[in-house]
Amino acid sequence: MALTYPLITLSTRAQVESKKARTSTLDAARAIIAREGISGLYAGLDSALFGISVTNFVYYYWYEWSRGALERRAAVTPGRASRRLTTLESMLAGAIAGSATVLITNPIWVVNTRMTARKGEELPGGAGEKQKKPSTVATFAGIVRNEGLSRLFAGVVPALILVINPILQYTIFEQLKNALEKRRRVTPGDSFVLGAVGKLLATSITYPYITVKSRMHVATKEGQETMGSTLRRILREEGWGGLYGGIGPKVTQSVITAAFLFAFKDALYESSVRLRRTLAARKAV
């Protein structure tokens, strides 16, 4: 997340801008740097790091719990040859994990989108002093104070629909991994590639809803719309291209992040297993 955050900034700003206001990714980066400095590319990084930590913790907890429950069910199912999850079972585990994650973490991402898109309140500086950028806490407090707690759950409907993103990602990853395991042992390098492929396909398919969710996150209380009305307005005013603003940097960032995530996850898992075995062996002695 930290390494790829400038791509998130560029993608988010393109998502919330009208099609007419958009420029190329390179021109957008130059404009942000000229106006806000390099730090402008990292607006909201603190909330994003907190958000991604909570999101992955919640998602992986519920995904592993769901997968374990389904595998135990498969083990006692008469006539079933394998405990490996089927495609539908992988999708069900992803749906449970994704829904729990959305409901718990949506307020974090509303705050992050406001900060990244610079749609939050600015804190006044002194005479002749440049206005200060709002902190995560100040942005959160401003939303609650001016728009109410309900605004922290703006965009939750398209976010729930976007549960299909990790479902597609993990289903593609699991099925490719299962196919490869039949041939040989899967390495962290393999997980890197398979994770990238899964995320590339998932993000490309679901991107329009990511755009709708971002627009709903930055809408003020007076300008808030439903998911359907937001979608129709974008199509009416900007056409289908409006739903894909910023897809280049977003897909690039998502693929790189997911690839490292899967690679690190498998490597850390194997290291943890080895460490536990070593400790158990020493304890036995």
What is the reported pLDDT for 221? 64
Average pLDDT over residues 78-97: 79
Q: Rounded CA gap, 129 and 152, in Å?
A: 31
Q: Rounded CA gap, 49 and 244, in Å?
A: 25
Q: CA 74, 78, 79: angle at the middle one, nearest 5?
A: 95
The total number of residues written for the chain in this structure: 285
What is the reported pLDDT for 132? 61
Check if the beta carbon of residue 122 is closer than 8 Å to that of residue 132. yes
The string of pLDDT tens digits covering residues 102-135 is 889 988 888 888 888 765 445 444 444 445 677 8
Report for 74-83, 140-149, 218-227, 241-250: range of highest mean pLDDT: 140-149
What is the reported pLDDT for 128? 42
Per DSSP, the residues of the chain read -TTTHHHHHHHHHHHHS-GGG---HHHHHHHHHHHH-GGGGGTTHHHHHHHHHHHHHHHHHHHHHHHHHHHHHHHTSTT----SPPHHHHHHHHHHHHHHHHHHHHHHHHHHHHHHTT-SPPBP-STTPPPBPPPHHHHHHHHHHHH-GGGGGTTHHHHHHTTHHHHHHHHHHHHHHHHHHTTSPPPHHHHHHHHHHHHHHHHHHHHHHHHHHHHHHH--TTT---HHHHHHHHHHHH-GGGGGTTHHHHHHHHHHHHHHHHHHHHHHHHHHHHHHHHHHHHHH-
Per-residue three-class SS string for 136-155 = HHHHHHHHHHHHCHHHHHCC
What is the reported pLDDT for 267? 82
The string of pLDDT tens digits covering residues 154-196 is 888 888 888 888 778 877 888 888 889 888 888 878 888 888 8
pTM above 0.85, yes or no: no
What is the reported pLDDT for 275? 93
Rounded (10°) angle between helices 188-218 and 227-238:
90
Report for 10-24, 46-60, 112-126: range of highest mean pLDDT: 46-60
Instruction: Give domain 5-121+134-284's CATH superfamily.
Output: Mitochondrial carrier domain (1.50.40.10)
Q: Rounded CA gap, 76 and 257, in Å?
A: 37
Q: What percent of the chain has pLDDT over 70?
A: 89
Q: How far is CA 253 from the centre of its chain?
A: 10
